[in-house]
Structure 1
Amino acid sequence: MNLHIIRAAGAGGACLLLMAPHVVLAQTAGTIAAEDKADNEVIVTAAKQNSTGIEIPNAPKARAVVTRDYIEHTVPGQSIFNAINMVPGVNYVASDPYGGNGGTIRIRGFDQSRIAFTFDGLPLNDAGNYAIYSSQQIDPELVESVNVSFGSTDVDTPTASASGGTVNYRTIMPTERPSATTVYSHGRGNMNRIFGMINTGDLNDSGTRAWVSASNQRYALFPYSFARKSQYNARVYQPLGAGKDFISLAGFFYQHRNGGYGNPSVAQINQALGNPLPLASATTANPVRIDLTQPQYDRILKAGAFLNSPNCALASATPGAGTVQDDRTLCTNARTININPVDTGNLRFNSLFTLNDRLTFTIDGGYSYTLANGGGSTVFAESDANASKSGVSRNQYGRVGAGQASGRDLNGDGDLLDYVRVFYPSNTQTHRLIGIAGLRYDIDAGNLVRLTYTWDRARTRQTGEAGYLNPDGRPKSYFGISSDSDSAVLDAAGGVLNKRNRLTYSILHQLSGEYRGRPIDDSLSLTVGLRAAFYRRNMSNACYTIPNSGSEAYCTGQTAQQVAADSRTAGFGPPYSGRIREYRAFLPNVGLVWQMDPAASLYASWNRGFSAPTTDIYSYDDKVISLKDKEAVPERTDAFDLGLRYTTGIVQAQLGGWFIRYDNRIVTTTAPLEGGGTISASRNVGRVDSKGVDATLSVNPTPWLSLYGFGSYLKSTVKENVRNGATGAILIATEGKQLVDTPNWQYGTRAQITLPSLVMGISAKHVGDRFITDENDAISAGYTLVDLDAQIGLAAVGLPKTYFQLNVTNLFDRPYYSNVWSAPRVGNGGWLNFGNGRTVIGSVHFEF
């Protein structure tokens, strides 16, 4: 963090000490350069002081920036999203203390699918359902800063899913001097992690420099879970001339294998405790509250009926001619099957070119790749005549025989009597290209305009090939398999048994324009922008669409005549190609900062956002299987912020209020079909209003002590009920209710001391009660967690850049539930994730 002086209008020689991080506010090279230019009167005048690393920039929008000053004290290897958990309005909860089993994040009540995440300007959200996978992020040692925009985007944000704001992080720059860094960490669950990085320093007179890194982490917190992840990163940076021009190329590759553990439903929690919770009588007016003592919490964990089993022995693995091998009740929750394998990576390009003294051109771009699934299994009857038996895949019908036979011998014992469990994951493979070109014109020293064009094309293939399991339940192949593989489970026609086969092209064309400047005098900074997004999905489905089954299609080797002749499948929607959906949005934003005096400023902004429907429109085909309701249209948000900031060399404070109007909210719920029946599909269910107050205070009274505190209050109100589109009957009574998994109150604090050989910090955060259900008849109790971190320098033993780091999370071992998976009402479910008990992690950071 640097202290800067900005001249205030009419102040003569008056100065303002402002904590404003340099080039860390935005994601693309164009926005970074524009923000840097807008602050062209900023002069660095003071040395770096101790800081907690959580900054509130003097920007026209509500923002927060987390820098390396804080990131370097967090748990090594944990998701970088964990670093923003102390920012007002943000709640990130990890499924384990090391991040390998993922986690969830909400910002001002918006879930992660409604928040745009970017990585050096590259979009991270899934192209189909906009999900973000927190475990699949870059090592925190490589992150320079994380920027959070509350309810708003930058004008060039490359996204079709940012109704709730943005989170973007940027990687560190290669250093001018050569260096090497190694970090080794150890913690409970036999967690071992090694990270290494080499900085080349300047390789030639032109300043070419680079770094490369690698890390590996493994642990098993419970006998029934494991996590293994490795990643490899590199960046090359080339300055161009003596100015700010540059080109940069970076790469990231990540592999992840884990065997997760189950999550208890509210009903399972109640059963394990002897049914003390009044679930049957729970109502909105009298909700049931899940608030457990430590003995109760331990009792549920030990009961473990919902946990994945460490053991699996398949009957089909020992075939016997003329006898029935039956896997239907075996290995239903085996950890070896419920896995989450991921291979993902990207290439990122950033650049800036000064064309003349007024004109600047920037270009960002990249390519990303993901292959992943969530595991899972099903049982096929070898004979299609047994397809309707209990425990068999409910959508088998005639697919094993494929219209050519009555079935197929799947385990090779010469009969068709068996019920064989197979690996049946939902694979997703995405290739994505993106380019962002920007042109900035500097009108004068205090005013500029810029234009940006974005092209984003994602090719997503979704399949669900069946693969053989080893006798202990381990898949013979983690991912999609071809018909000539010995891992493939084939039908009688020689095709791979498959539950879906979809191809989607998701294409975004986006134009944006922006003005930044001081149109009246130097005390007023104004930003005005317009983003025009044109989003298109081109969808093809090689399988039959099944009414009442949004997650599985009917993929078969049968002819169309055979499918139509079978009364069980005659009403299925046939395969199709070239199904087009187009969405358009024109999204203005306005923001201003009024520097009222050298220490105080007022900010205000209005930003419009949108989020297009996801690919669950594959649930119907528009011809044979059509919705009675109209198809979902994009969500729209209007976000308003107003607040005050006070900044001196010692104190930084902000108090702000906000309001978000949220129209055409999309939910996935039961929708009626033409001709009768229902299906799970996206629908618009109306309006949600959210409002709140955020406050932060940072104090640096001495060079060795820094204090930080924040508080957030949020109130959300759903304005309409979820109704049956055909009859108008209420399906879910959401009117007047609050959003799930969204606490009204969050507050926390951090204190840090910095001495010559010791840096120690302690953080505490309270998360208030959260509703588990849409009808607000069940509550997960609030909790307070305290974390401790310390770095002990080893300069005294001749290692000036080496230190030992200690992290203790959940210092007081507080029992709590972290992630929440909602249901319409408690009678329908509601699931909770065990919080992380006290965890001690020791690390040695070695550098030379």
Structure 2
Amino acid sequence: MRSKLLTSVAFAAVMLPASAYAQSTGSTDVEEIVVTGSVGPADTNGIQLPETPKAKAVITQELIERRTPGQTVFDTINLIPSVSFTNADAYGASGGNIRIRGFDGARISATFDGLPTNDSGNYALYPSQVLDAELIEQVNVNFGATDVDSPTASAAGGTVNYRSLMPKDELGAAAAYSHGTNDMNRAFGVIHTGEVGPWGTKAWVAASTQSYDQFRGPGKIKRWQLNGKIYQPLGGNDFISVAGHYNRARNSFYNNPSLANIRTIVGTSVIPTTGTVANPIVVDLTDAQWDAVFNDQSTAFRSVPSCVLPSANVPAGNGTVQDDRTNALCGSLATTAINPSNTGNARFNSRFSLSDKLTLTIDGGYQYTKATGGGSTVLSERNAGAFGIAPSSQTSGLINYQYNRVGAGIAAGADLNGDGDAVDYVRLYTPSITRTARLTAIVGLRYDISDEHLVRLAYTWDRARHRQTGEASNLQGTGQPFNPFGAVYGEDYEVTDAAGNVLMKRNRLSYAILHQISGEYRGKFFDEALNVAIGVRAPFFRRNLNNYCYTIPSNSSEAYCTGETAAQVAANATTATYGAPYQNRIKSYKAVLPNIGLTYHFAPKVSAFASYSKGFSAPRTENLYGFDDVKINPSIDVLPEKTDSYDLGLRYTSGMIQAQLAGWYIKYNNRIITTIIELEGGAGNINADRNVGEVQTKGVDFSLGVQPVRGVSLYGFVSYTDSELKENAGGLLTAGKFVVETPEWQFGGRAQLSFDPVSVGVQAKHTGDRFVTDVNDIVSKGYTVVDLDARLSLSFAGLRKTYLQVNVSNLLNEKYFGNLTTAGSVTSGTPRFTFGAPRTVIGSIRFEF
């Protein structure tokens, strides 16, 4: 019976090396059983449905390489059920938003060769900073669940894991060049050393560069990467791998319209001023209306390339008031609306057979990030001119919370622009700068009790040093920063207060430290027809918080950084309410998270699967800086979010067909939102995080891949999601409402024809209507995007590994809004709508030697 099962295609998929299905080396190794003669998992041109107890999907390099060159791999997984990814542009270097089964990116864990890539502070994902697509062997998605050793404190809604390419055994190289719409130019190259030396060491090194213009408004997107990997086999399945990655991005933000901006252009008959749950505002524009909004030239939501700063290049000792508030264009500059980043990592993966039954795996790495969100603000050089009025106020136009920080408690003001007086209103570059250094280690032991049973243990340690500052620096006369990272390293153009201290809007240091233990048992029963996986992970997570500035109640993005004494701060009625600087404020969280999964093979081609897993997401660093637990103390502690995720499904797998039907249910407890919380003792209210109870999400996914004849493949999917808030939150009637930015229906597919020397692929994805507000009084209409890829092999000309490729993104030029900035209701926020990129054409040539 065992030999019959092993020869079946369906069961072979379970037994294949799990590098296609898992994230860490330990999770990979636990499913790695070499089966001689195995034909491999069913695959529809790069889309796989692995035979695992948990609901998963896998995209391989076969499909990834067909997509737009340089595009983020997060866009590629948009073709599987329950995943909704909205891209900021057609080329992938401007980021985007992802939701899986209704969970946003901050609640989805992403890993790169086993290393966590979510921001250690706010758990955000940065799709534009991933590895070059040509170097990604595969990416897999866990829906609503994690692997038992997942190194994360934030995966309440599933995981996205991608692994880098294995070095080739033979010496070779590949190079590609692409040119496309909006003057996109990209070059990529990789060299494989092949096996060298007496131990069969092999490696690759790769580099890429990309640049293009924004498809709307001024702004340039630039990115380049350097990557490398060394792989040393140690005999059998044992190995050591060392790899490195560096990504440098310089990109401007797209300036997108608010609901009010759209209403101003198309009128209240199209976008009413009010909406209700029964009769919501529906953002559904005709092509002509969409064009009118897209082509609007006002600065309300279109950046300008430059401006003239009155405060710059003023003769010394001028003595007159230079007022940067008089040139409103300087507040809409493309050169300050930027998101520069430098990111890099070093990765280590290994496997060692300690005996014929005991296996050790070790993964580890170091990651570094330096990034800023850009931005500029106007400060008064005089304390008397600083009213503490928000920048949006027409009365002042000054940075909020300025008060007496420029005078630093020793003077009435300071000269910020170097013209010899202290009477001006000066626009400064004031980015929020983040520098993170992160170390991760995962150690696993696997013990094979027998051919049918094994156990494993794993320990994870993850420590991130998260430095967040907001140094102010001068701008050039045209409004451009001297350095995209401002004065973070103490450059000559830093701006200081009267006491010589660099003016800052925040200054804090955090440590996010995770200790996690996990264990798992796997067994096979009934002649291996039943496979069982039972595991548990126990994360112990701690945040060590240090704020060197005063805490502003309810404000987690800015603090009151001043040279004043504590007595001087207390003398002002407003700043007296601020919390004093502090060090070593500890917040700890822990959980025990069980999971169980079953796979049962009714027949060689038919199997059923079921799983249960518990998820966990600790509060984010930024959210904790809105109070200090001393003077500003919410009456209710914020608890970690937890989920209970259930999956039940059927799979059919043959040489021609792969199909999967899955039903799922997720109970989501202690959901965290930012809202109004009462201070202890009834001393007032602050905006801070709070738990708002339960969310219930359920749905059905179906996918079908068919290869009826050689050279023809068809794939389709449909997913239904019902994600409902169960309680009211933040003074809003949210009970019974649908979760924002989550489409109820998604469906799509791909068809590919391959007949040498030509192959053509067409794929389409429909994203259904999405609510923009928590109370569901604004709806963004659904849309359908069609993409085309076509390839011509030049093998007929003697160039066997050379081809020309054309990609057309948004082939039918669908006019839609992609990313959404959500709000509580139509009256409680300012939702914004991101333009979807118009039709984009890219041509490429690739050589391989």
Q: Decide: shared fold, TM above 0.5.
A: yes
Of 580, 584, 590, 1:584 maps to: 590
Distance in 2, Cα, partners of 1:195 & 1:233: 11
Query: How is 1:416-565 mapped onto 2 (pairs within 5 angstroms)?
Result: 416-479=422-485, 481=487, 485-565=491-571
Greater CA deviation, 665-674 or 202-211? 665-674
- Is the 1:18–1:649 contact (alpha carbons within 8 Å) kept by the matching residues of 2? no
Deviation at 1:760, TM superposition (A): 1.1
Report how many aligned residue pairs link the two structures. Answer: 830
* Corresponding position: 1:694 with 2:701: yes
Which position in structure 1 is the counterpart of 2:574? 568
Task: Check conservation: 1:155, 1:531, Cα contact below 8 A.
Answer: yes
- Kept in 1, the 8 Å contact 2:529–2:602? The answer is yes
Q: 1:194 aligns with which of 184, 187, 191?
A: 187
How far apart are residue 47 of structure 1 and its match? 8.5
Residue 637 of structure 1 is aligned with which of 643, 650, 670? 643
- 1:307 maps to 302
Aligned AA for 2:843?
Answer: G
Measured in 2, the distance between the counterparts of 1:97 and 1:501 equals: 36
- Flag the 1:16–1:835 CA change in 2: closer, same or farther, 3 A: closer
Paired position in structure 2 for 1:364: 363
TM-score by length of 1: 0.96
Distance 1:602 1:334 in 2: 56
Amino acid at match of 1:395: Y
In structure 2, what is the equivalent of residue 845 of structure 1?
846
Matched, 1:282 2:275: yes
Cα distance, 1:128–1:496 mapped onto 2, change above 3 Å: same
Please give the secondary structure, in 1, of the residue aligned with 2:324. Answer: coil
Shift of 1:458: 0.3
Q: Hey, what does 1:332 align to over in structure 2?
A: 331
Counterpart contact for 1:202–1:209, Cα < 8 Å: yes
Contact preservation (8 Å) 1:611, 1:635: yes
> How far 1:225 sits from its partner (Å)?
2.0
Give the Cα–Cα distance (whole angstroms) in 2 for the partners of residues 50 and 672 of structure 1: 55
Query: Contact conserved, 2:42 with 2:48, CA < 8 A, in 1?
Result: no
SS of 1:746's partner is strand
Displacement of 1:617 in angstroms is 0.8
Shift of 1:15: 7.0
Once the two structures are superposed, the pairs formed by residues 288-299 of structure 1 within 5 Å of their partners are 288-299=281-292
Letter in 1 for 2:593: L
Q: Which residue of 2 aligns with 1:618?
A: 625
Other-structure match for 2:685: 678
Change (3 A) 1:33 1:14: closer
Q: Which residue matches 1:76?
A: 69
Residue pair 2:274, 2:826 contacting (<8 A) in 1 also:
no
Write out aligned runs for 1:651-662 (5 A). Answer: 651-662=657-668
Q: Is the 8 A contact 1:447 1:519 kept in 2?
A: no
Question: Matches of 1:468 and 1:214 in 2, distance apart?
Answer: 34
**Contact in 2 for aligned 1:67/1:146 (Cα 8 Å):** yes
| Corresponding residue SS for 1:462 | strand
Q: Secondary structure at the match of 2:185?
A: strand
Supply the distance in 1 between the matched residues of 2:95 and 2:489 (Cα, whole angstroms).
33
Q: Please state how far the C-alpha of 1:483 moved relative to its aligned partner.
A: 8.1
Q: Say if 1:67 and 1:484 are closer, same or farther in 2 by CA, change over 3 A.
A: closer
Amino acid at match of 1:814: E
User: What is the CA-CA distance between 1:520 and the residue it aligns to?
Assistant: 4.4
Q: Check conservation: 1:155, 1:514, Cα contact below 8 A.
A: yes
CA distance 1:452–1:472, change in 2 (3 Å):
same
SS in 1 for 2:591: strand
Looking at structure 2, the residues matched to 6 and 652 of structure 1 have their Cα atoms a distance apart, in angstroms, of 23
Asked if the contact 1:620–1:626 (Cα under 8 Å) also holds between the matched residues in 2, the reply is yes
Matching of residue 711 in structure 1 with residue 718 in structure 2: yes
Give me the whole-angstrom Cα distance separating, in 2, the residues matched to 1:464 and 1:46. 56
Change (3 A) 1:88 1:8: farther
- Contact 2:417/2:474, CA 8 A, preserved across alignment: no
Do 2:306 and 2:480's aligned partners in 1 also have CA atoms closer than 8 Å? no
> Aligned partners of 1:538 and 1:337: how far apart in 2?
32
One-letter amino acid matched to 1:717: E
Determine if contact 1:17/1:648 at 8 Å carries over to the other structure.
no
- Distance change in 2, residues 1:379/1:779 (3 Å): same
- Aligned equivalents of 1:406 and 1:515: distance in 2? 69
Whichever residue aligns with residue 214 of structure 1, its letter is A
Q: Which moved more, 1:435-444 or 1:253-262?
A: 253-262
The equivalent of 1:99 in structure 2 is 92
Aligned partners of 1:719 and 1:387: how far apart in 2? 44
Gaps of 5+ in 1: 724-730
| Letter paired with 2:833 | L
Further displaced range: 663-672 or 62-71: 663-672
1:338-383 deviation digits (Å, cap 9, x = unpaired): 1001011000000000001000000000000001011011111011
Q: Secondary structure of the residue that 2:311 maps to in structure 1? A: helix
User: 1: distance between equivalents of 2:338 and 2:599?
Assistant: 49
Distance 1:163 1:46, change over 3 A: closer
Query: C-alpha distance in 1, partners of 2:93/2:105?
Result: 18
| Shift of residue 680, structure 1, vs aligned partner | 2.6
Given that residues 9 and 38 in structure 2 are in contact (C-alpha distance below 8 angstroms), is that contact kept between their aligned partners in structure 1?
no
Deviates more, 1:674-683 or 1:524-533: 674-683
Q: Is the 8 A contact 1:710 1:749 kept in 2?
A: yes
| Percent identical | 52
Q: TM-score, normalised by structure 2?
A: 0.96
Match of 2:345 in 1: 346
Deviation at 1:568, TM superposition (A): 3.2
- The residue identity in structure 2 corresponding to 1:393 is I
CA RMSD of aligned residues (A): 1.7
Q: Is the 8 A contact 1:89 1:712 kept in 2?
A: yes
1:548 CA drift (Å): 4.2
Cα contact 1:329–1:391 (8 A) shared by 2: no
DSSP-derived class of the 1:332 partner: helix
Which of the numbers 52, 57, 66 marks the counterpart of 1:59?
52
The farther-off stretch of 465-474 and 167-176 is 465-474
Going from structure 1 to structure 2, the CA distance change for 1:592 and 1:396 (only over 3 Å counts) comes to: same
Change beyond 3 A, Cα 1:118–1:738: same
Letter in 2 for 1:323: T
Amino acid at match of 2:748: G
TM-superposed CA distance for 1:482, in Å, is 5.7
Q: Which residues in structure 2 correspond to 1:13-32 (within 5 Å)? A: 16=10, 22=17, 23-32=19-28
**Aligned mates of 1:7, 1:821 — CA distance in 2:** 55
Q: Give the residue type in structure 2 aligned to 1:774.
A: D
Residue 801 of structure 1: aligned partner: 801
Report the alpha carbon displacement of residue 14 of structure 1 after superposing the two structures with TM: 7.2
Aligned 1:149-160 pairs, distance under 5 A: 149-160=142-153
Looking at structure 1, the residues matched to 839 and 778 of structure 2 have their Cα atoms a distance apart, in angstroms, of 27
What SS does structure 2 have at the residue aligned with 1:804? strand
Contact 2:192 2:203 in 1 (8 A): yes
In 2, distance between residues paired with 1:329 and 1:298?
Answer: 31
CA displacement at 1:759 relative to structure 2: 1.7
Aligned residue among 211, 224, 233 for 1:230: 224
Provide the C-alpha distance between the structure 2 equivalents of 1:791 and 1:269, rounded to a whole number of angstroms. 40
Superposed CA deviations along residues 447-468 of structure 1, whole A, max 9, x for unmatched, are 1100000000000011000011
In the TM superposition, what whole-angstrom CA distance separates every residue of 1:262-318 from its partner, at most 9, and x where no partner exists?
111111111111222353331011111111111111100111431212222111113
Q: Which amino acid aligns with 2:20?
A: V
- 1:73-94 CA-to-partner distances (Å, cap 9, x unmatched) read 0111011111101010001111
Offset at residue 549 of structure 1 (A): 2.7
Deviation at 1:598, TM superposition (A): 1.0
- Look up the match of 2:390: none
CA deviations over 1:607-626 (Å, ceiling 9, x no partner): 10010000111111111111
Letter in 2 for 1:85: N
> Which of 411, 423, 444 is equivalent to 2:417?
411
* Paired AA for residue 489 in structure 1: V
* Cα offsets for 1:636-661 (capped at 9, x unmatched): 10000001111111111111100000
**How much has 1:48 moved relative to structure 2?**
9.7
Q: Any gaps of 5 or more consecutive residues in structure 2?
A: 388-394
Among 136, 146, 171, the residue aligned to 1:178: 171
CA distance in 2, matches of 1:661, 1:550: 29
